[in-house]
Amino acid sequence: MADCLHRVPAAGDELGLSATRTTPGPDPARVLRVWPGLLLLLLLASCGDDAPAARDAALDGPAPPRSDANPRLDASEPRDAATRPDVGPSDAAMSMRVDRVSDRGGVTWTFAEPVLAGQFVTGDWWVVGPATVMAIDPAPGGGRNGSVLNLPPVDDETGFDDRTTEGRFNPALGASLPIALSPGDRLASSISVSEPGLVENWLREGSGERSDSPVASVSILTCLADVPPEDGFRPSYADPAVRVRRLAEIDRALLPNLAPPGPIDTALLDDLANRLSRPWVDNLYFGFDAQVETMAMYGREMGRVAGMASLFLLVEVPEDQRATQERLLIGFLQRGIDLWGLVGAGHPGWPAFGGHGSGRKWPIAFAGILFGDAEMAAPSQAYPDAYFGEDMHTAFTDDLPYGPAWNGATVVYTGHRGVWRGMPVSDDPAWGPYEHLAPADWLDDIGESYRRCCTSQAWVGQALAARLMGAQSAWGHDAFLAYVDRWMDPTGDAAYTQAIFDMNGSDFRADWAAHGQGWDDFVESMWHAYR
C-alpha cells in the first residue's frame, strides 16, 4: 500500500493540531480537529514495508544542504531530522492502540501486540506498559543502530555504535530483541551514520570541523503505567523517578518579554527550535557519541546554544514567530529535564576540560526556575558534587591560594582543567591556574588559549540570561558571573595581550581573541542592550 503513512505525524503536522499550546486544558475545537488524525492512525496496522518512502515524501519543506555522502544507513536520500518542519506539542491524552509507532527521528518500534500509545508535548512517544518491542527499524546489528534500555548515568560508556572512539563502546549496554518494557523503562534507539565525519559540525559551518561520532540520532520510547497529561514532558531518559512534568506548571511571568535589540534572526530561531525538539543524549563526556544530526558537538557550542536559546525566550518576537518560540521553549525545557535527570541519577557532571564542560548547568537552572522547582533551579546547591565547567573554570583570587592576578584582575580563569573546591584538578601545573603568574613564568599558554578561543565567549549568553531572570543566587557561583563581566570589558586587553607577546611570544593580539565578544551577534547585541 504505497500511499499509506506508517509514520504517525508529529502534532500540528498531518494531524492538524496547533503548533503551540499557550494555555493547558481541553480545547473542543482541537478535539474535533483530531478525528482526521485518528482515522490516519487506523491505517497503521495495514501499512506495508513501502510506507517509509511515502512517509518521507509527505514531509513538507525543502531539504537542507547536506554533504554529498548521505550519513544515514537507512536512508536512500538526504533527510535531516534537525531541520524538518516538525512541531512540538501533541495531544497526548488522545491515546490509541497501535502495533507500532514511528518517531520523527526515523525509528520505528513494532510491538508484540497492540499497545496504548501517544506522544508527549515534545512529540516523543510513550506507551502504557507492560509492552514488548519485537522489532526496531532500522534494525540493530553488526555494531550499528544500537538500543539501550534505561541509559546508565555514566560518562565513559555508550552502547549505540561500536565505532565510538577511545574505547567507549560497551556491547553489554545494548538491548537485544525482543525487549520487554515495564512501566518506568525508557528505550533509547539510535540510528548510525554510514561513515563518521561526513556531517559538518553545527554552528561551525565553514570551519571544516567534523565529529567522529558514529551516531546520527537517538529516539526515546518511554513506558508508563498510565496515560500522561496531554501537556506532559517526556521524563528524563535517566531520571529514576520517571517524573512527568507539565507545560501548565511553568510560570511564564518569569519570562520578561524584553524588546529585542534588533530584528529577530528567524532562521537561527527556527534552527534552534528544530534541533532542540529532538532528544540530546548527553551523558558520554567529550561527545564521542553525540548525535550529529541534531546536537552541538563541543561544549563551547553547547554553551552558545544555552545562551542563545534562553535569550530568544526572554524577548518578544513577531507574531508569526511565536509558534517557533514556543517550540524552542518546550525543547529547551526538555533539555533541562534530561540533564537534571542525569545529575539526579548520579552522573558526575561535565567538568572543566578546555571547552568540553560548558553549557549544561544553565538549561537545568532555567527549567527549574520556570517549573518552580527550587532544587532544580540551583543544581550546584542540590548536588554539590556535580561538576560544571563554567564554575570550575572561574574563581575569585581571594578564594585561591596563589595571591592576586599579575594584571590586577580579582576574578580569574583557572586554567585548562580548572579547580575543584579551590584546588587544581590536574596534576600537571601547566593545566591549572596561571593568571597569578606573569606571562614570562607561564609553563604553557594552553590556559590562555582556551580562555580566549573556547570558553569565555560561549558563556556570555548564559550569564546574561541568568542575570535577566534574577538567577544569580540560584546559580550559586558568583565568580562565574563576575568573570563574564570581566571578559566583556575590553578595557586594557590590548595592552595585556601585547605584554603576553612581549614576555613569552604567545600572540593573542588578533581580533578573534579579544575581550568584549560573545561569539554570536544576537548574544552581543543583547549584552550591550541589557548589561
Report pLDDT digits (tens) over 293-308: 999 999 999 999 999 9
As a whole number of angstroms, the distance between CA 368 and CA 127 comes to: 26
pLDDT at 284 over 60: yes
Residue 321 has pLDDT above 90, yes or no: yes
pLDDT exceeds 60 at position 344: yes
Rounded Cα distance, 508 and 453, in Å: 10
Q: Are residues 336 and 416 in the same domain?
A: no
Which pLDDT belongs to residue 94?
Answer: 65
pLDDT band at 95 (very low <50, low <70, confident <90, very high): confident
Same domain, 416 and 343: no
The predicted structure's pLDDT at residue 153: 98
Same domain, 198 and 273: yes
The three three-digit cell numbers of residue 433, written as one number: 591556574
Which of 40-44, 97-101, 266-270, 411-415 has the weakest average pLDDT? Answer: 40-44
The answer to whether residues 195 and 341 belong to one domain is: yes
Q: Are strands 387-388 and 349-350 parallel, antiparallel or unpaired?
A: parallel
Same domain, 342 and 394: no
Q: Say whether both 511 and 402 belong to one domain.
A: yes
Phi-psi sector, 442: left (phi>0), alpha (psi -120 to 50), beta? beta
Question: CA–CA separation, 448 vs 332, rounded Å?
Answer: 31
Q: At what angle do helices 456-468 and 361-371 cross, to 10 degrees?
A: 10
Report whether pLDDT(358) > 90: yes
Which of 326, 347, 368 is the last residue in one of the domains?
Answer: 347
In a domain, 516, yes or no: yes
pLDDT value at residue 49:
38
Residue 40 lies in a domain: no
∠ CA 312-316-318 to the nearest 5 degrees? 105
Three-state DSSP state, 155: coil
- Burial of 209-221, coded b for 16+ CB within 10 Å and e otherwise, reads ebbbbbbbbbbbb
- Asked if residue 416 lies in contact with residue 450, where contact means CB atoms within 8 angstroms, the answer is yes
Task: Say if residue 69's pLDDT is above 50.
Answer: no
Band the pLDDT of 96: cuts 50, 70, 90. confident
pTM equals 0.84
496: which residues sit within 8 A by CB, 6+ positions away? 407
- Over residues 488-496, the mean pLDDT reads 97
Is residue 99 located within the same domain as residue 211? yes
The answer on pLDDT for 10 being more than 80 is no
Residue 26 covered by a domain: no
Q: Is residue 227 part of a domain?
A: yes
Report the run of H or E that residue 147 belongs to, with start and end: strand 147-149
Report yes or no on 130 lying in a domain: yes
Nearest to 12, CA basis, from 24, 21, 25, 4: 21
Q: Which domain holds residue 197?
A: 64-347
Q: Which of 299, 324, 347 is the last residue of a domain?
A: 347
Same domain flag for 332 and 406: no
pLDDT at 315 over 90: yes
Tell me whether residue 468 is in a domain: yes
Q: Is the pLDDT of residue 312 over 70?
A: yes
Question: Positive or negative CA dihedral for 227, 231, 236, 242?
Answer: negative
Separation between Cα atoms, residue 514 and residue 517, nearest integer Å: 7
Does 405 lie in the same domain as 305?
no
Are the C-beta atoms of residues 268 and 205 closer than 8 Å to each other?
A: no
Cα–Cα distance measured from residue 30 to residue 282, given in angstroms and rounded to the nearest whole number: 35
| All cell numbers assigned to 261 | 535589540
Closest CA to 479 of 407, 393, 371: 393
Tell me, yes or no, whether 302 and 443 share the same domain.
no
Which pLDDT tens digit goes with each residue over 27-65? Answer: 322 222 233 333 333 333 333 333 333 323 322 233 333
Share of the chain above pLDDT 70, in %: 82
Length of the chain, in residues: 531
For residue range 195-205, what is the model confidence (pLDDT) as tens digits? Answer: 999 999 999 99
Under 8 Å between Cβ of 122 and 233: yes
Any idea of the CA torsion for 54, 59, 64, 66, to the nearest 10 degrees? -30
Torsional sign, CA 139, 142, 145, 146: positive
Nearest alpha carbon to residue 390 among 354, 441, 438, 364 = 354
Q: Could you tell me the pLDDT band of residue 98, with boundaries at 50, 70 and 90?
A: very high
Query: pLDDT (tens digit, 9 = 90+) per residue, 218-263?
Result: 999 999 999 999 999 999 999 999 999 999 999 999 999 999 999 9
Residue 382 maps to a domain: no
- Residues 422 and 321 reside in one and the same domain: no
Query: Average pLDDT for residues 265-288, to the nearest whole number?
Result: 98
N-term to C-term CA, the chain:
59
Q: Is the peptide bond before 130 cis (omega within 30 degrees of 0)?
A: yes
Strands 108-119 and 423-424: unpaired
Give long-range contacts, CB 8 A cutoff, 24+ apart: 30-37.
30/91, 31/91, 31/94, 34/91, 34/94, 37/9, 37/94
Q: Which of 347, 377, 401 is the last residue of a domain?
A: 347
Is 97 contained in some domain?
yes
| Cell of residue 338, nine digits | 534530561
> What does the pLDDT read at residue 355?
96
Task: Count the domains in the chain.
Answer: 2
pLDDT higher than 70, residue 90: no
342 and 473 both lie in a single domain: no
pLDDT in tens, 420-476: 999 999 999 999 999 999 999 999 999 999 999 999 999 999 999 999 999 999 999
Separation CA 501–CA 508 (nearest Å): 7
